[in-house]
Structure 1
Amino acid sequence: MTDPVLQPRKGNPARTALICTGIAFGMLGASFAAVPLYDLFCKVTGFGGTPMTGTAGAGRILDRTMSVRFDANVAPGLGWKFEAESPEIKVQVGATQTVFYKMTNRSDRTVTGIATYNIAPEKGAAYFVKIQCFCFTEHTLKPGESFEAPVVFYIDPEIADNRELDGVHAITLSYTYFASKSGQPVAEDKAGSVKGDAGNPKL
């Protein structure tokens, strides 16, 4: 007589399939959540040259002065002219500043573009705080059409407490405009075909 305790238990195929399906959907959801979570992490910490975001001024202004450089780039195939009103300004740490960028569609077709950004040096990104920015917002321009958009920012006074940044006297804010597809930046290869997500290019 066979001991029932030693007999292998029969699994429930339907239950097993349900569990596997649940795990698969969970992993899929986690992969989609990873991108916005990583983006949020970068914005909170300044990791990877991502500027911080804020809603108000710093609250105090230091005597320390730094240079802020404004870099404007256009990905191949977009056909836009993109430039800052000034390539570089001197700012007091903690003082809120506004700089305008101008975009012009120089192509013969209506084009939608979207801008990504980065900060150099990367260790300065945690102290560059953007209050208003046109990045990651689609803009559609007809042939010959132009528009201007502001960037409002300040350099966090806490930079003075970081001795490692005593030698940093300039920060570069770099934007790159890409053609936009479904709200995501895309790049074109030399043949003119669209390739992947352009992401957030690093300097």
Structure 2
Amino acid sequence: MSDATLPHGNSNNNRVALILAGLVLGMIALAYAAVPLYQIFCQVTGFGGTTQVSDGNPKGAIARDMTVRFDSNVESGLPWRVTPAKPVTDKIGNVETINFVATNLTDKPVTGQAIFNVTPEATGIYFNKIECFCFTEQTLQPGETVQMPVTFFVDPDIADDQDLDTIKTITLSYTFYAAQTQGS
């Protein structure tokens, strides 16, 4: 082997090493960005039953009724009892406010957070929250019971989606879990 081939071989090896290092760094960056990018995607498209956030409904109401049911689940690590609101039936587009009721079952302050989705999932793009306890962590004092409001409306544009013509009920579901920052 001549000396003339060695630098060329090392150059190729260095280039491959740099490409592989760049791929590894790119994969690490994508791993960190995946969750926020996925959340943005879900919020924009309503994918997976992700709801929208709104300041209000400028479109008004339409004649079609929709029932919204409410569901709550509490992760075993959160010592709370949460009672969902009763179902609401109203014209699509009307703004409604309901309350979940949460009780801290311990003698210590406990901080929780809720994640949410709607079913059927395809309705997520049309379900708009104006105000929701789920936007922030909630700290309940020992034995405290609180009302946790949700103000929402179903976007009248749902009537333009032929795939959802037969939908008469949407379920808004919350799963409550212990926040990583406990207490107050």
TM range (shorter): 0.7 to 0.9
For 2:25 and 2:135, the matched residues in 1 are separated by 28
Range moving further from structure 2, 72-81 or 135-144: 135-144
SS at 1:181 equivalent: coil
Q: Tell me, yes or no, if the aligned pair for 2:112 and 2:176 is still in contact at 8 Å.
A: yes
Partner of 2:118: 119
Following superposition, the deviation at residue 144 of structure 1 comes to: 0.5
Partner of 1:197: none
SS at 1:177 equivalent: strand
- Does residue 104 (structure 1) correspond to residue 120 (structure 2)? The answer is no
Q: Tell me, yes or no, if the aligned pair for 1:82 and 1:102 is still in contact at 8 Å.
A: yes
TM-score, normalised by the number of residues in structure 1: 0.77
After superposition, the Cα gap between the structure-2 partners of 1:17 and 1:8, relative to the gap in structure 1 and judged at 3 Å, is closer
Task: Report 1 or 2 for greater relative contact order, CA contacts < 8 Å, sequence distance ≥ 6.
Answer: 2
After superposition, the Cα gap between the structure-2 partners of 1:139 and 1:3, relative to the gap in structure 1 and judged at 3 Å, is closer
Range moving further from structure 2, 71-80 or 38-47: 71-80
Give ranges in structure 1 of 5+ residues lacking alignment: 184-203
TM-score, normalised by the number of residues in structure 2: 0.85
Tell me how many residue pairs correspond in the alignment.
Answer: 180
For 1:182 and 1:11, the matched residues in 2 are separated by 51
Q: Tell me, yes or no, if the aligned pair for 1:58 and 1:154 is still in contact at 8 Å.
A: no
Q: Tell me, yes or no, if the aligned pair for 1:58 and 1:156 is still in contact at 8 Å.
A: no
Counterparts of 1:47-196 in structure 2, within 5 Å, are 47-84=47-84, 86-135=85-134, 137-181=136-180
For 1:158 and 1:111, the matched residues in 2 are separated by 40
After superposition, the Cα gap between the structure-2 partners of 1:52 and 1:110, relative to the gap in structure 1 and judged at 3 Å, is same
Following superposition, the deviation at residue 77 of structure 1 comes to: 3.0
For 1:133 and 1:108, the matched residues in 2 are separated by 26
Larger helix share, 1 or 2: 2
Aligned-residue Cα RMSD (Å) equals: 2.6
- Does residue 34 (structure 1) correspond to residue 34 (structure 2)? The answer is yes
